[in-house]
Structure 1
Amino acid sequence: MIHKIRMAELTSEEARQHVTEDAVVLLPMGSLEDQGIHAPMGDYLAADLMALEIAKTARGRGVSTFVAPVVPFGGKDFFDSSHGGISISNATLVALLDDIFGCLNRHGIRKVMIVNGHGGNVPAITEVTLRWRQKAGLFVPSMYLWQVAYGELPDLIGAEKASASSGHGGDPLTSVGLYFYPDLLRPDLVRPSPTGARIKDMSISGFSTITYDGAKIQVPIEALEATETGAFGCDPTLCSAETGETLVKRLAAIGAGLVCDHVAKGLHD
């Protein structure tokens, strides 16, 4: 098995020889938005590195796995207000994914898995993966990293700590960042997320919701209206590189397991 993992580093001849119909291709996706005033905006950095960890683990189990270039810009959502952020419309993201799938399918590369790090990408991923299943029998799972991580954290660090540290700008991404690229974070800016934000005399309960009479109601608000620090509903001071390492290992095991047990065997209709 060739030692190169990133498709961008392969020569065209190496790609012909190794990225065959038997190979698995991971497509990392993320965003460039506010991740908390203490963390780098590009969560695609973590998605890309997680895809690499999954590929390495899968290769260790004998499955030829490669990582496609990361899609760094996420679908537009309430984080479009992030200063310096760059997002793209759902229509643009759908078109981009359509073209990527089309290129891979043309060359017989049909064992594909998405490694996603941004909630705003989910609608486009759902639309495109359904379309390609219907028109070409292509069955592409998508591992939404942070959604999976939220479910794993209570068992990994304890339910009480996970409840306090989990949220946008906190766990899992801050801990994963402290593990992957600690030099890019600003520990001096870390502080608990602000509380009590209101809009039109209503209590903000999330990045797109208010609370009325105990019920969450969706409203058209932007992230900056919910929190001035980019963190919401969590205490980032509880995040750590140790938690990040534990999470990365667990996410890599889950992702590689899915690759080896299912994707590599072919999921086509």
Structure 2
Amino acid sequence: MSAQPPLLETRALAVRIAGKTVCTDLDFTVAAGERLAILGRNGAGKTTLLTTLAGLRPAAAGQILVGGHGYGELGPRGAARQRGWLAQHREDAFGATALEIALTGRHPHLGRWQWESADDADIARAALAAVGLKGFEARDVLTLSGGERQRLAMATLLAQAPQLYLLDEPIAHLDLNHQIALLELFARAAAEGAGVVMSLHDPGLALRYADRALLLYGDGRAELGPADEILTAERLSALYQHPLVAIDVDGRRCFIPC
């Protein structure tokens, strides 16, 4: 029996935007059950890299394969069944209920003229409950706070049920309680066989919730390796251009600015 291809693979990937190089010759894979954190200063290119990995903008060079296939081969619907994308910013121009928004995550699994079924509604309700929004089904999205809207976006992604999650600052706008709850949620998704790629600002949380880390320095340089090896005070001080020290608390490493 042949081995399954990685959920995500890059080959000699180069990403550029507005004349700025984000990365060159970047090779990595994300297999089922793996979690990769992307870290870097503001403007280093984390969002640009993630949108490229999601197939939403072209790479300058190289290949991106999702489940062994390029985005052109998968097509929009096939890609949406394979990978889920959480953008950093979103706007809701029109009112809709939280359940209606969560149900849009099921659309890649429906035929062109097919309506959502009772099973789809159950999946959407379960996703809302998973992010702490049980009882919000009838709430208008325009009445939700920023943090509640962020969790609704997560619920929509969970209802989509992709194999690969690409998350751009997934815990932005959330209080600490919900940050940890959602990182635990995606840790469980990985334990069940999903792949997770996420940009994070807190290196301590990246160390806790990622198997590997990718550091983007903003000048085309990138470093990739096991999180517990690459997330050091020395590297992070160079990455953020500010001195940090590492402290251990109950066996967990944290980083604080000097």
With normalisation by structure 2, the TM-score equals: 0.30
More strand by share: 2
More helix by share: 1
With normalisation by structure 1, the TM-score equals: 0.29
